[in-house]
Amino acid sequence: MATEQPPRKDSSWPKPRYRPEEVPAPAVGRLSLYLRELEGLLKQDCQTTSSKELAETLGYTDAQIRKDLAYFGQFGHPGIGYRVDELIDRIRWILGTDRTWNVLVVGAGNLGQALATYRGFQRKGFRIVAIFDNDPAKIGQRIGSTPVLEILPVDRLAEIITERSVRIGIITVPGDAAQQVTDAMVAAGIKGILNFAAASLAVPDNMPLASVALAVHLEQLAFRINARQSAHER
């Protein structure tokens, strides 16, 4: 053939048997965990791994892991397993984190500031580009380092989303303010929301939304601890 294919690797990657929206959500969730584990293996200079090995460290079955990966293509080598660096590249490409995503935080309380300065996000391909609050005492304060972030007033939200091509917004405001922040983000064209506020958010149909209910996790633990206790008493 005369003309080269474009240098993007994705065109050479194998068959995408399922469309992204057909992949079960739990499988996508585990994909992130596989990636984290693989990144750990790479640090230890492991060249290859297998579904069996991954399954044991992560607490799944080997069939589960092979099935999950099969939603996205064929990445393994029968008799060998998976090449660690290769699989990392492919999962990053699948998740879309081989490119950087600009993210902002609304709510500069303790949690908001902690998330805005959290290094782990940067390493995973997410860059916090702004943090907002509506408390005049906080606006103008500078937090973090490399980069330093200035706390901005919430009324500049739309402007920043547009100018800095922000696709994801993190909400860390009190529960009763969360819906209006959501509405402002949606109106400004945000593409997805990560919610830490103690409230159920209404978003347009199909808008990606993930909620982390901190107290809920503790309540789950409390229930399960009591369940174990009472099961043990029988």
Partner DNA sequence: GCTTGTGAAACGTTTCACAGCA
Partner DNA sequence: TGCTGTGAAACGTTTCACAAGC
Residue ranges that bind DNA, judged by CB under 7 A: 17, 24-27, 50-52, 60-64, 66-67, 69-70, 74-82
Token pair for residue 209?
């939304």
Instruction: Name the binder of 66 from its own copies, DNA, none, CB < 5-8 A by kind.
Output: DNA
Of 42 and 111, which CB lies nearer to its own copies in the complex structure?
111
Map residue 59 onto helix, strand or coil: coil
Nearer to its own copies, 80 or 221 (CB): 221
Other CB atoms within 10 Å distance of the CB of residue 137: 8
Q: Do 35 and 89 touch, CB atoms closer than 8 A?
A: no
Residue 228, contacted partner among its own copies, DNA, none, CB below 5-8 A by kind: its own copies
* 155 or 183: CB nearest its own copies: 183
Q: Coil, strand or helix: which one is 217?
A: helix
| Residues that bind its own copies in the complex, under the rule CB under 8 A | 19-21, 25, 28-29, 31-33, 35-37, 40, 57-59, 94-97, 101, 103, 109-111, 113-115, 117-118, 120-121, 123-126, 167-168, 175, 191-194, 198-200, 206, 208, 210, 212-228, 230-231
Residue 180 contact, options DNA, its own copies, none, Cβ 5-8 Å cut-off depending on partner type:
none
- φ, ψ for residue 105, nearest 5 deg: -120, 130
From the CB of residue 108, how many other CB atoms can be counted at a distance below 10 Å?
Answer: 23
Residue 109 is given by DSSP the state S
- Minimum distance, C-beta of residue 215 to DNA, in the bound complex (Å): 20
Residue 215 site contact among DNA, its own copies, none (CB < 5 to 8 Å, cut-off depends on kind): its own copies
Measuring CA to CA, which residue among 75, 59, 68 is closest to residue 23? Answer: 68
Selection from DNA, its own copies, none that 150 binds (CB < 5 to 8 A by kind) is none
- We find the least distance from the C-beta atom of residue 78 to its own copies, in angstroms, to be 26
Give the nearer residue to DNA in terms of CB position, either 175 or 208: 208
In the complex with its own copies, the residue whose CB is nearer, 9 or 77, is: 9
- The single-letter code of the amino acid at 58 is L
Q: How far is the CB of 182 from DNA (least distance, A)?
A: 23
3-class secondary structure per residue, 5-21:
CCCCHHHHCCCCCCCHH
Looking at residue 108, the DSSP 8-state letter turns out to be: -
Count of positions (residues) in the chain: 234
57 strand-pairing partners: none
